[in-house]
Amino acid sequence: MEKIDISKLTEWLLEKIDKIGKLPRLYRILICLVIFVMIIGPFFYFLYQPKIKKIDELKQEHELLETKIVRAKAKARQLKHFQDKLKKAQMEFKIAVKKLPEQKEIPSLLSSISRSGHDAGLEFLLFEPKGERTKEFYAEIPVSIIVTGNYHKTALFFDRVARLHRIVNIDDIKMTKTKGTNKLQTSCTAVTYRFVETQPKKPS
Is residue 118 a contact partner of residue 145, using CB atoms and an 8 Å limit? no
pLDDT at 82: 76
Strands (E), 15-167: 123-129, 133-134, 138-149
What letter represents residue 62's amino acid?
A: H
What is the domain-level CATH number for residue 184?
Answer: 3.30.70.60
Neighbours of 122 (CB within 10 A): 22
pLDDT at 1: 46
Alpha-carbon distance values, 10 to 4, 5, 15, 75 (Å): 11, 9, 8, 73
Please work out, in degrees rounded to the nearest 5, the angle formed at the alpha carbon of residue 74 by the alpha carbons of 70 and 77.
140
Number of domains in the chain: 2
Residue 12 is assigned to a structural domain of this protein:
no
Residue 18 is assigned to a structural domain of this protein:
no
User: Which residue, of 80, 98, 116, is where some domain finishes?
Assistant: 98
Residue 46 reports pLDDT greater than 80 = no
Range in 82-86, 170-174, 190-194 the model is least confident about: 82-86
Mean pLDDT across the stretch 132-151? Answer: 87
- Asked whether residue 160 falls in the same domain as residue 180, the answer is yes
Domain containing 86 equals 24-98
- Asked whether residue 72 falls in the same domain as residue 110, the answer is no
Q: Is 154 exposed, middle or buried (0-12, 13-18, 19+ CB in 10 A)?
A: buried
What backbone phi and psi angles, to 5 degrees, belong to 130? -100, 180
Residue 79 reports pLDDT greater than 90 = no
Candidate ranges 42-56, 58-72, 114-128; pick with highest mean pLDDT: 114-128
